[in-house]
């Protein structure tokens, strides 16, 4: 169920014209009370967008923006590895299997622009996409995170950053992208998945 964002101030969301993709979402926290003036951006990168809009939070947005508020940031900004809107990863990957582009045409540029804002205004990246991301896509996203601090709340057994919904935000770990096992590359190339050196 969506939740009102009223405690966090005004919000925005960037959807594709067809509404199939949500490329970015933000919450302005600058007017919320804090012991010291708020500054910088918490840029959270998830797996894919769910039901949140410029006006309403879904549970993940509610939790992450609450962390940004508690950690003293002026802005919470959310982007995703895949821009395709779905409440379950299986639904998104089923769309891919039907031939849909689940990354989204504008998604990587939106991530680059968000990273550039963190570079200019200060802050950090919260890697938060969980274990369902494809290894090639994880690598492609990681390669966009240039000259910014990347952290997560926990690390999964496969090296991906944990999804934050059921995690505590009292400990942050540095995150770096694990190498893709060669057997995974061979298997996926055999099924027609493009090489990591090519654009996704």
pLDDT tens per residue, range 67-108: 999 999 999 999 999 999 999 999 999 999 999 999 999 999
pLDDT at res. 80: 98
Q: Among 7-21, 47-61, 170-184, which stretch is predicted with the lowest mean pLDDT?
A: 170-184
Q: Is 21 exposed, middle or buried, given 0-12, 13-18 or 19+ CB atoms closer than 10 A?
A: buried
pTM greater than 0.75 (yes/no): yes
174: which strand partners? Answer: 151
Copy the structure tokens of residue 46.
């998830």
Q: Which residue has the higher pLDDT, 56 or 36?
A: 56
Domain edges within the chain: 3-190
Copy the structure tokens of residue 95.
């769309």
């Amino acid at each position: 169920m969506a939740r009102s964002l009223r405690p966090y101030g005004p919000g925005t969301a960037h959807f594709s014209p067809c509404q199939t993709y949500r490329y970015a979402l933000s919450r302005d926290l600058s007017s919320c009370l804090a012991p010291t003036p708020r500054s910088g951006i918490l840029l959270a990168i998830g797996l894919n967008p769910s039901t949140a809009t410029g006006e309403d939070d879904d549970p993940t947005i509610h939790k992450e923006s609450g962390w940004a508020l508690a950690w003293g940031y002026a802005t919470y900004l959310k982007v995703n590895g895949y821009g395709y809107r779905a409440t379950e990863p299986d639904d998104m990957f089923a769309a891919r299997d039907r031939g849909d582009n689940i990354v989204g045409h504008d998604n990587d540029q939106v991530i680059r622009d968000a990273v550039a804002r963190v570079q200019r205004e200060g802050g950090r990246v919260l890697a938060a996409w969980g274990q369902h991301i494809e290894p090639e896509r994880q690598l492609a996203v990681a390669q966009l995170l240039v000259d910014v601090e990347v952290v997560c709340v926990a690390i999964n057994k496969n090296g991906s950053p944990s999804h934050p919904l059921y995690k505590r935000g009292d400990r942050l770990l540095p995150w770096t992208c694990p190498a893709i096992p060669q057997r995974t590359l061979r298997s996926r190339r055999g099924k027609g998945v493009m090489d990591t050196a090519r654009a996704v």
